[in-house]
Amino acid sequence: MTQPQSRRLAAVQAPVIPIVGRWTAGAPGTISLGQGVVSYQPPKEAIDAAKSFGATLPDHRYGPVEGLPALVEAIGRKLETENRIALDGSRVVVTAGGNQAFMNAVLAITDPEDEVILPAPYYFNHEMAIVIAGANAVAVPTTESYQLDLRAIENAITRRTRAVVTVSPNNPTGAVYPESDLRAVNALCRDHGILHIHDEAYEYFTYGVAHFSPGSIAGAAAHTISLYSLSKAYGMASWRIGYMVIPSALDEAVNKIQDTILICPPAVSQHAAVAALAVGSSYAASHVARLDETRQTIFAALNQPDVPCDVPVSLGAFYYLLRVHSRMDSMTLTERLINEHRVATIPGSAFADPSPCSIRISYGALDAGTILEGTRRLVDGLRALAG
């Protein structure tokens, strides 16, 4: 038997979270500033909705490919009131999480060898999805503060380009893009006849800056795909519910993909999602004030002359991507921080950070005391290992 794995899969990076997870498991007592998860569970209403699911036979049969009507309608109302997206010329499709929504989008619009532009550092699963689809991810640099470089994006567009991807608030950097930049990217995509894929999974996690949805721009519906997730907003990561807003011209393509991959999203999770959306965005808002305090505490601890790293501004999500002053590569630093200092982070190399040594820290999942101790270990570790 020859190697059964395809060439395209051989070219996909290995997921880094399980690697860091193994290192962490091998170093008992490690505090994880690693995976991007929140500290809270779903609203009680969502869990209760799942408890009352399943009383009738139709509950257990396949549902509509785009999601249950009650959920699609609730999402429509949310998009209209919160995101100012009118669903005029576009449509909602519920998916098994935000990642599947991105995969649906890439499969719908790319042929093999087409190109998709990703400002780097980028969310690793986005690059993986593009390569798995047989297309090419084209990384373009961002600025020193991880903001979009509009000129670099425009210069990267070729006749094979099918889309530009933006994520705001950003994973892994925490950057929030100003409305003007998102409007500029959206116009660029319109003018070049390509799509703007915008990921808003962290829409509720901003600190003193406004969130903007480019799907709300007049005339944007035909060339904009907007992606959302309940995983962070409602603490529902394990339930696997996300959704996408797609141009009407992609209806048929996304229907085919969704039918082929999923048939329909899990119904019990959709029922929980309807109840979560009825609670609404105030649920996440109740946690964001606490996260903002944590964010500031971490900044104060790390942004010291004797800590050998740069801490670019982060006004969104729950991440910092630190540039570390070290000749070590990101993976080596990550492993040594775990083994020698019992603090886990994610290496910047997983996000294609052009900086030779960087680490992402996530502060969404832990209580304030653990975060403080984790940050103390990180500061000690950076002083000992870098500089």
Work out whether 209 is an interface residue with its own copies (CB under 8 A).
no
Q: Is 113 left (phi over 0), alpha (psi -120 to 50) or beta?
A: left
Work out whether 74 is an interface residue with its own copies (CB under 8 A).
no
> Can you tell me which of 25, 26, 62, 84 binds its own copies, judged by CB under 8 A?
62
Count of residues binding its own copies (CB under 8 A)?
85
Query: Whole-number minimum distance, CB 312 to its own copies, in Å?
Result: 27
Work out whether 107 is an interface residue with its own copies (CB under 8 A).
yes
Residues in 23-52 at the binding interface with its own copies, rule: CB under 8 A = 35, 37, 39-42, 47, 50-51
> Can you tell me which of 7, 180, 210, 369 binds its own copies, judged by CB under 8 A?
7
* Cβ closest to its own copies, residue 53 vs residue 299: 53
**What is the C-alpha to C-alpha distance for residues 342 and 336, in angstroms, rounded to an integer?**
9
Structure tokens, 110:
């790319």
Query: Whole-number minimum distance, CB 17 to its own copies, in Å?
Result: 8
Work out whether 369 is an interface residue with its own copies (CB under 8 A).
no
Work out whether 362 is an interface residue with its own copies (CB under 8 A).
no
Distances (CA, A) of 151 to 147, 156, 239: 12, 9, 39
Q: Are 128 and 122 in contact (CB under 8 A)?
A: no
Residues in 263-302 at the binding interface with its own copies, rule: CB under 8 A = 263-269, 272
**What is the C-alpha to C-alpha distance for residues 157 and 160, in angstroms, rounded to an integer?**
8
Query: Whole-number minimum distance, CB 324 to its own copies, in Å?
Result: 26
**What is the C-alpha to C-alpha distance for residues 359 and 172, in angstroms, rounded to an integer?**
9
Work out whether 1 is an interface residue with its own copies (CB under 8 A).
yes
**17: Cβ–Cβ under 8 A, 6 or more apart, which residues?**
34, 35, 346
* Cβ closest to its own copies, residue 28 vs residue 58: 58
Work out whether 160 is an interface residue with its own copies (CB under 8 A).
no
